[in-house]
Structure 1
């Protein structure tokens, strides 16, 4: 489970985030390319834009559920 206290510093503020457990597998960037990108120097993903519509939110949730190391969190999850 993602740890809000251990998020990657590039994440934009909001409900979704990526923590330092990211292994740079590219799944989130492929699943939700409008929201996730890569920090090239350190080799991990982060959320550069919070979802702005239902499609983007669904893609972020899909990325979170598919993350092999559970590095994606959603503070808005119920």
Structure 2
């Protein structure tokens, strides 16, 4: 389970985030490319844009549910 106290520093403020457990598998970036991107220097993903509509929220939830190491979190805010 993702730890909000261990978020990658590049995450924008909001509901979804990626923590340091990320293994850079690319699943979230493929599933929700409008919201997740990669830190090339650090080799992990982060949320660069919070979802702005229901479709993006659904894609972020799908990425969170599919993450093999549970590095994507939802802090419950909207």
Answer yes or no: same fold by TM over 0.5. yes
Query: Which consecutive unaligned segments of at least 5 residues does structure 1 have?
Result: none
TM-fit CA distance, 1:76: 1.4
Alignment of 1:42-53 (within 5 A): 42-53=42-53
Q: What is aligned with 1:75? A: 75
Counterpart-to-counterpart distance in 2, 1:15 and 1:35: 12
Counterpart-to-counterpart distance in 2, 1:6 and 1:42: 15
Counterpart-to-counterpart distance in 1, 2:9 and 2:57: 21
Query: Which consecutive unaligned segments of at least 5 residues does structure 2 have?
Result: none
RMSD: 0.9
TM-fit CA distance, 1:60: 0.1
Q: What is aligned with 2:38? A: 38
Counterpart-to-counterpart distance in 2, 1:49 and 1:17: 10
Number of aligned residues: 77
Alignment of 1:51-66 (within 5 A): 51-66=51-66
Scaled by the length of structure 1, the TM-score of the pair is: 0.97
Counterpart-to-counterpart distance in 1, 2:14 and 2:42: 22
Counterpart-to-counterpart distance in 2, 1:51 and 1:76: 13
Counterpart-to-counterpart distance in 1, 2:76 and 2:42: 27
Q: Which runs of 4+ in 1 moved over 2 A?
A: none
